[in-house]
Amino acid sequence: MARRASLGFSLVELLVALVFTMILMAGMAKVFQSSLSNFYTSGEKLSSIRRNRVALDLVYDDLNSAGMALVDVTSPLPSSDTNPAFYIIPNVAVTGAGPNDPSTTDELYMAYDQPLPFDGKLLTGGGAGGTGGTAASKVLLNGLGSLTAGTDDQYQIDCGDATYAKSVKAGMSFHIKDDMSRAAFQIKSVAVTGTSVTVTVVTTPSTTTQVTGRGDPGTLRSTQRIFKSSVVFILPTQMVRYHIAMVNLDPANANGIPCLVREQGTYVPSAAFTPDASLTQIVAENVAGFKAFLSADSGVDWAGSALANTTTGFAAGWTNGIQTALNTQLATVGRVDYTTTAGNLSWYRDIPVLVRLDITTRTATQRGEYSATGTTLAYKNLTQSVVLVPRHFGLPLS
């Protein structure tokens, strides 16, 4: 009698098919894991590059303002040997850094007069009876009356936006652009009505005029102002500091995250820098290194690069470190009368020095793919640099 034909796969055939399927799936899982790893690592590296670029751009903009004098464009910023208007302190310890965080950072200090990010339009003020001139024929006083305190020291200015108007504060200064020949007016008081875009400011003699020679001495001007002349408001003598600080942004990380921080405060040459907490900004997160160098020989040598990692502080790090190395370069390649920074508190205005910044960012996450062995966790670091001669360096006005 004939046997019936089999109606399905045998057990052996099923086991063989299962083995092949498992081998295929293991290979596919490996490919998927590799693709997923590449996706995450590529994204983290791109994020690190973007943070680096943003940080460099922001510091670049501030460096191009370093040394800018707007309150009195004919005089350099006030300065002192103990707190100059531009300097670098290398290898400062990062407070609260963990074992995987940067242990030191350079601190970059620069001072400048900071213009507010808008121009106003003059409506009234600075003329006979406090009214602004409305035509070229009325620019000069021409016997229309005498200047009077209490009327001719008041100016009404259209800021164009209510938020801008509220940013104008007493203690600031302003220039009226139809006459840049004198020092800026210092603002004694400001009046803003509700959501108005217009401010009424009262001027006062600058409190620093007799000390530093900068600012308006208080003598009323003998000219009318041109109607709707542009007005630039100035936050005078600001000091900016860049450095790495640990910031508590992640509740799961007790040490905090190393960030490049921009701090700002009023620059007082005779006192230590005191930042205004309301002006502190986080420029970039996960910053693993911040270094600043100077060169007077077109980048052949960099003052600061040869310092020991333990060299820090103002005296050892700046005066006897970076500044001394810069003077060594100037002794060889300096211009006539500018072969040293010693005795010249505004040397940056006279000497076209290169500034180099190296900013190192790291990935947000430690991964085995970033370690040399692949068996331990590590960050992936990326260093980018910018080199420039700041706009106000090497351009003496005298």
Q: Render pLDDT for 19-61 as a digit per residue (tens, 0 to 9).
A: 888 888 877 777 766 666 665 667 777 778 888 888 899 999 9
Whole-angstrom distance, CA of residue 60 vs CA of residue 70: 19
Rounded (10°) CA dihedral 84, 90, 96, 98: 160
Q: Map 259-322 to HEC letters.
A: EEEEEEEECCCCCCCCCCHHHCEEEEECEEEEEEEEECCCCCCCECCCCCCCCCCHHHHHHHHH
pLDDT digits (tens, 9 = 90+) for 73-100: 878 898 999 999 999 999 999 999 999 9
* CB neighbour list of residue 380: distance below 8 Å, 6 or more residues apart: 41, 44, 45, 48, 362, 363, 367, 370
Alpha-carbon distance 359 to 190, whole Å? 41
394, pLDDT greater than 80: yes
Q: How confident is the model at residue 65 (pLDDT cuts 50, 70, 90)?
A: very high
Q: Is the dihedral of CA 397, 117, 85, 359 positive or negative?
A: negative
Neighbour tally for 360: CB within 10 Å: 20
pLDDT tens figures, 297-309: 999 999 999 999 9
- For range 107-111, the mean pLDDT: 98
Domain boundary assignment for the chain: 47-112+238-388, 115-235
Position with higher pLDDT, 13 vs 67:
67
User: What's the average model confidence in pLDDT over 201-218?
Assistant: 62
Quick check: helix, strand or coil at residue 118?
strand
pLDDT reported for residue 149:
44
pLDDT recorded at residue 126: 55
Q: What is the CATH number of domain 115-235?
A: 2.40.10
Which range of 130-134, 190-194, 301-305, 370-374 scores highest in mean pLDDT? It is 301-305
Edge-to-edge strand order for the sheet containing 287-295?
287-295, 354-362, 381-388
Task: Provide mean pLDDT across the span 247-274.
Answer: 92
pLDDT at 101: 94
Question: For residue 396, what pLDDT is reported?
Answer: 57
Cα separation of 370 and 282, whole Å?
26
Q: Is 182 exposed, middle or buried (0-12, 13-18, 19+ CB in 10 A)?
A: middle
Give just the sign of the alpha carbon dihedral 81, 83, 84, 87: positive
User: Is 32 strand, coil or helix?
Assistant: helix
> For residues 170 and 187, is the Cβ–Cβ distance under 8 A?
yes
Q: Which residues contact 327 (CB under 8 A, 6 or more apart)?
A: 340, 341, 342
| % of the chain exceeding 70 in pLDDT | 80
Checking if the pLDDT of 363 tops 60, the result is yes
Q: Angle CA(350)–CA(344)–CA(116) in degrees, nearest 5? A: 65
Task: Report residue 110 CA to chain centroid gap.
Answer: 9
Do the beta carbons of residue 90 and residue 106 sit within 8 Å?
Answer: yes
Residue 315: its pLDDT value, please? 96
Average pLDDT over the chain reads 83
Which residues share a beta bridge with 107?
89
* pLDDT value for 306: 92
Q: How far apart are CA 7 and CA 54, in angstroms?
A: 69
Q: Has residue 379 got a pLDDT over 60? A: yes
Helix (H, G, I), strand (E, B) or coil at 128: helix
Q: Are strands 104-125 and 86-93 parallel, antiparallel or unpaired?
A: antiparallel
CA atoms within 13 A on the CB side of 323: 23
What per-residue confidence (pLDDT) applies to 35? 62
Burial class (CB in 10 A: 0-12, 13-18, 19+), 386: middle
